[in-house]
A and B are shown apart, each in its own frame.
Chain A
Amino acid sequence: MQIRDYIIRRLLILPVLILGVSIIVFALTRIGGSPIGVYLSHEMNATEVAALEERFHLNEPLVVQYWYWAKGALSGDFGYSGVASAPVSEVFWKKFASTMELSVFSALIAVWLGLKLGVFAGKRRNRWQDHLTRIVAVSGASLPLFWFGIVLLIVFWANLGWFPVGRSDAEVWDSIAHPTGFYSLDGLIAGSIPAFLDALWHLVLPSITLGFGAVAIITRMMRSALIEELQQDYVDAARAKGLPERLVLNRHAKRNALVPTVTVIGLTIAFLMQGAIAAEIIFRWPGLGRWMADAVVRGDQATIMTYVLFTSVLFLFANLIVDIVYAKLDPRVRLGD
């Protein structure tokens, strides 16, 4: 099957999958009870509570509630977030930009460092450098993210004062406009080096925290794949032809080792967005993850629905992209068969 046909087929299936996911998520969130609690305050009287129920159609049967929700979602209205005290659609993109910026930086760290370490270890199989890299990789994969984050917080924020928590300095934030919601990008657009550096400076601790686990996974994957490729006949043939080891590695073995690693990288980025919850809570990063955590604690079902639906769609797209990249890297892969 041609890649184009494959993409079209997958995109056609997508709405059905989204519909299925939305019904499941809606049903699951409603099992937890009515979403009214997050909108209530102790000052409200019974009439006001009833008015709220009517406003959000909570006095209607569940199927009708779902219909209203789905109708709203199709027109871009995902309900009202009690946690953010604003419509979900108004808040969502700001939070998304925040989490995306963190995920992208974490991914950059993870991919760059993971590939470097993987190749470094793979080339030096069973030597002390390889063992050391594996220790780093194993610790990255096994250390709980929240624990690692708290250690960084205590050492680099509370004790040394080198890096801040939060997403920006109040003075700097106020000094520029934020058209994209990506603070580093906004700094560049505004031509403000302090704003750009402030954004990077705030990204350091949460990005390392979030990226560390992914570094470990990518390192291990790249190492194993490279070792396997280096044992292939074509590598021996290349060496026998007198090709320099640098070229054998970079032009042949590394490229082929990337094929399985890319699958992991693609899924890792989607996982990073989900894993951001702990990093965002620890470092007070105002993204989707922290919003979601608050929403779960306070029963903000409009937010939970949107978040779960969004991450489901994200995974569907991530898988699609991974498949395409996979096919591009390895012509032997036949999509849709």
Chain B
Amino acid sequence: MKAPFDLNFRTMLGVALLAFLAPVGALAQETIVHGADEEPATLDPAEVEPGEGGESVIFHVYDRLLTVGASSSELLPALAVEIPTVENGLISEDGLTYTFPLRKGITFHDGSPFTADDVKFSWDRVIDLELPGSGYEIFSERVAETRVVDDYTFEVTLNELDASFLYSAVLTMTASIVCQEAVEAAGAETDGESNGLLSDNMIGTGPYTFESWNRTENMTLRVNPNYWGTAAFDDVRLEFGLDPDVRVLGLRAGEFDTIETDPSYVADLEGAEGVEIYAEGLLLEPLHIGFNMNVPQGALPEGDTIPEDFFKDVRIRQAFNHAFDYTAFVEGALAGFGEINPHYVPIGVFGYDPNAPVYGEQNIAEAERLFREAGVWDEGFTATVVVESGSLFEIQCLILKDSIESINPNLRINVLGVAEAVFDEAIASETVNYAMWAKNGDPAADPIDYLMTYAHPDGEWGEIHGFRDAYVNPDQIADLIDQIAIELDRDTRAGLIGEVQSLLYADPMWIIGAQEGAVTAYRDSIENMVLQPLWPRPSINFAILDKTGG
């Protein structure tokens, strides 16, 4: 009696599975399946951390006032119909007030009409909530006042002149326009606490509507048929929580149409049937090792023989930069997909000067000369660099170790690989207890963001690392960067940026190993693949991809 029952059950199960699989297979034809690297922690533009996984979905579901296209960094109108300039009168003569005429007849995904009130609400909300870890400072530090002139005109006044406002603030995901009506209907929001609606829901005006989010598994976005611009081709499903190797495997097997990957996987995918590699342009996240001149007394790791102010000597910083084997890093770790870039303006960002001097080739003789001059050649030293273990940055540190130790065995570098949380804790405090650490820079659209964060004597890292006490001429660098921040004339600004790049070459606060190539892999059924580093990671705009090619 048992066997026939088992057989019948199995048969029924098989038939039911087949019947069930058929429609799933049909649906997959119209959905781009993307193997994502990182799952969002939040979907709220006021809460999202710049550079974090949530930015990519916010990018697709919300709009901002301005945007950038696929092929250049030129600003384009989005919810605003015109780009403010001094020439068209939309930037006031004093350079402080920006006026945005808005697009009419737009509705949010819930049917609510879009007006200037939504823009004011969205930006004020970011400033008022002041959520830790978010990009609220992008607005709170710049914006003095927001105003609704009429239903379709919005104005913002800045605290001070800011040449980068459109790129550094208006273009960011933090500046996404949310639906005032929907948020207010979900309950009150107080300082430091949102009502939670937008943390796991999205109501925007973008090319995709938010369908579902099965946390730790996947998220589905649907084409918005009423999009004011060119409608997207296909729905998108983002698959989360997959190891890089599994994503590569899934792409080869056709389970995914696009994946987030890095240059080290290109060799595995090249020549695979049905797989295309996209490798054009560069990410805007220089891979760097920072020098810390502000280590508290006695805080260096056990074994370090350097004094706390070791890197205050510019010759030592120069020597490290000369000693690093850039070719090994680019050709080895990055599989050839990378470029050397100068301090500290990445290639592809406004003002990057191709003629600026760079540490692009290992120069052992010069490194030796500088180490000798600094008086550390004979006695030697041991210094520790802390880094997230198992990362590309760790390879960069190992190359630094090899580079330095191959010059002189008395010069020792310890590479301390630690878990991500430990690393974050190590470099998030006011003081860093290591002489060096490695990571990548945060991507930005305007050079001032890099210069303020990574070069200004009183900027974010300037204060933590003690740049002011270490630069040969800190005031000169500070004045130049401050000028770049407010200079509205593009040619003059470009000249100033070129000038500061030369100064930062001579007085380097970082080793910039390389700028990583923009690389991705996708199925050949996908058309129009483009990576734009100014779009949030993975720098893909799914709305322009066409899976069916139709």
Beta-carbon contacts under 8 Å, B158-204 to A: none
Q: Within 8 Å CB of A41, what residues of B?
A: 49, 52, 132-133, 424, 428
| Contact among A194, A290, A291, A299 for B421, CB-based, below 8 A | A299
- B86 at interface, CB cutoff 8 A: no
Q: What separation, in Å, do the CA atoms of A188 and B254 have in the docked complex?
A: 31
Q: What separation, in Å, do the CA atoms of A145 and B252 have in the docked complex?
A: 24
Choose the segment among B236-244, B324-332, B364-372 that binds chain A (4+ C-beta atoms closer than 8 Å): B236-244
Q: Within 8 Å CB of B50, what residues of A?
A: 43
Q: What separation, in Å, do the CA atoms of A286 and B217 have in the docked complex?
A: 7
Closest to A34 in B: B425
Q: With A170-B237, A197-B13, A197-B17 given, is the CB distance from A40 to B211 under 8 Å? A: no
Q: Are A40 and B424 in contact (CB under 8 A)?
A: yes
Q: Are A37 and B16 in contact (CB under 8 A)?
A: no
Q: Are B253 and A37 in contact (CB under 8 A)?
A: no
Give the total number of A-B pairs whose CB atoms are below 8 A apart: 131
Q: Are B242 and A298 in contact (CB under 8 A)?
A: no
Q: Are B241 and A290 in contact (CB under 8 A)?
A: yes
Q: Within 8 Å CB of B137, what residues of A?
A: 43
Main secondary structure on A side of the interface with B:
helix
Q: Are A299 and B422 in contact (CB under 8 A)?
A: yes
Q: Are B217 and A284 in contact (CB under 8 A)?
A: yes
Choose the segment among A18-26, A130-138, A154-162 that binds chain B (4+ C-beta atoms closer than 8 Å): A154-162
Chain A residues with a Cβ closer than 8 Å to the other chain, count: 49
Whole-angstrom distance between the Cβ of A277 and the nearest chain B Cβ: 14
- B212 at interface, CB cutoff 8 A: yes
- A108 at interface, CB cutoff 8 A: no
Q: With A44-B133, A85-B42 given, is the CB distance from A286 to B424 under 8 Å? A: no
Q: Are A158 and B250 in contact (CB under 8 A)?
A: yes
| Contact among B215, B253, B419 for A298, CB-based, below 8 A | B419
Closest to B52 in A: A41
Q: Within 8 Å CB of A173, what residues of B?
A: 212, 214, 217
Whole-angstrom distance between the Cβ of B136 and the nearest chain A Cβ: 9
Closest to A32 in B: B422
Closest to B17 in A: A197
Whole-angstrom distance between the Cβ of A230 and the nearest chain B Cβ: 23
Q: Within 8 Å CB of A284, what residues of B?
A: 217, 241-242, 246
- A229 at interface, CB cutoff 8 A: no
Q: What separation, in Å, do the CA atoms of A38 and B425 have in the docked complex?
A: 8
- B429 at interface, CB cutoff 8 A: yes
Q: With A37-B425, A298-B419, A299-B421 given, is the CB distance from A166 to B239 under 8 Å? A: yes
Q: Are A174 and B422 in contact (CB under 8 A)?
A: no
Among A34, A46, A284, find the residue whose CB has the most chain B CB atoms closer than 10 A.
A284
Q: Are B16 and A33 in contact (CB under 8 A)?
A: no
Whole-angstrom distance between the Cβ of A90 and the nearest chain B Cβ: 11
Q: Are B249 and A43 in contact (CB under 8 A)?
A: no
Q: Are B428 and A40 in contact (CB under 8 A)?
A: yes
Q: Within 8 Å CB of B211, what residues of A?
A: 174
Q: Within 8 Å CB of A168, what residues of B?
A: 214, 217
Q: With A159-B253, A197-B16 given, is the CB distance from A51 to B132 under 8 Å? A: yes
- A238 at interface, CB cutoff 8 A: no
Q: Are A174 and B220 in contact (CB under 8 A)?
A: yes
Chain B residues with a Cβ closer than 8 Å to the other chain, count: 50
Closest to B41 in A: A85
- B267 at interface, CB cutoff 8 A: no
Q: What separation, in Å, do the CA atoms of A171 and B222 have in the docked complex?
A: 12
Among B13, B16, B421, find the residue whose CB has the most chain A CB atoms closer than 10 A.
B421
Q: What separation, in Å, do the CA atoms of A268 and B13 have in the docked complex?
A: 28
Q: Are A33 and B425 in contact (CB under 8 A)?
A: yes
Q: Within 8 Å CB of A12, what residues of B?
A: none
Q: With A43-B49, A158-B255, A167-B217 given, is the CB distance from A286 to B241 under 8 Å? A: yes
Closest to B442 in A: A42
Q: Within 8 Å CB of A201, what residues of B?
A: 17, 20
Q: What separation, in Å, do the CA atoms of A36 and B250 have in the docked complex?
A: 35
Contact with A along B392-432 (1 / 0, CB 8 A): 00000000000000000000000000011111110111100
Beta-carbon contacts under 8 Å, A18-66 to B: 33-34, 36-38, 40-44, 46, 48-49, 51-52
- B218 at interface, CB cutoff 8 A: yes
Contact with A along B204-229 (1 / 0, CB 8 A): 00000001101111111000000000
Q: What separation, in Å, do the CA atoms of A198 and B421 have in the docked complex?
A: 36
Whole-angstrom distance between the Cβ of A98 and the nearest chain B Cβ: 9
Q: What separation, in Å, do the CA atoms of A33 and B212 have in the docked complex?
A: 37
Q: Are B217 and A298 in contact (CB under 8 A)?
A: no
| Contact among B242, B246, B422, B424 for A42, CB-based, below 8 A | B424
Q: What separation, in Å, do the CA atoms of A286 and B212 have in the docked complex?
A: 16
Closest to A297 in B: B419
Q: What separation, in Å, do the CA atoms of A179 and B49 have in the docked complex?
A: 32
Q: What separation, in Å, do the CA atoms of A296 and B218 have in the docked complex?
A: 23
Q: Within 8 Å CB of B134, what residues of A?
A: 43
Beta-carbon contacts under 8 Å, B226-284 to A: 237, 239, 241-243, 246, 249-250, 252-255
Q: Are A197 and B20 in contact (CB under 8 A)?
A: yes
Whole-angstrom distance between the Cβ of A83 and the nearest chain B Cβ: 9
Instruction: Identify 18 new A-B residue pairs, CB closer than 8 A, beyond the known A161-B253, A290-B241, A299-B425.
Output: A37-B422, A37-B423, A38-B424, A40-B421, A40-B424, A42-B51, A43-B50, A43-B134, A158-B252, A165-B246, A170-B214, A170-B217, A170-B237, A171-B24, A171-B27, A173-B212, A174-B211, A197-B16
Ranked nearest first, the 5 interchain pairs of A and B with the lowest CB-CB distance are A37-B421, A299-B421, A37-B425, A41-B133, A286-B216
Chain A interface (Cβ < 8 Å from any Cβ of B): 33-34, 36-38, 40-44, 46, 48-49, 51-52, 82, 84-85, 153-154, 157-159, 161, 165-174, 193-194, 197-198, 200-201, 281, 284, 286, 290-291, 297-300
What are 18 A-B contacts defined by CB distance under 8 Å?
A40-B133, A40-B428, A42-B49, A42-B427, A43-B49, A43-B135, A85-B42, A158-B253, A168-B214, A170-B219, A171-B24, A171-B220, A172-B24, A173-B212, A173-B214, A193-B20, A284-B242, A290-B241
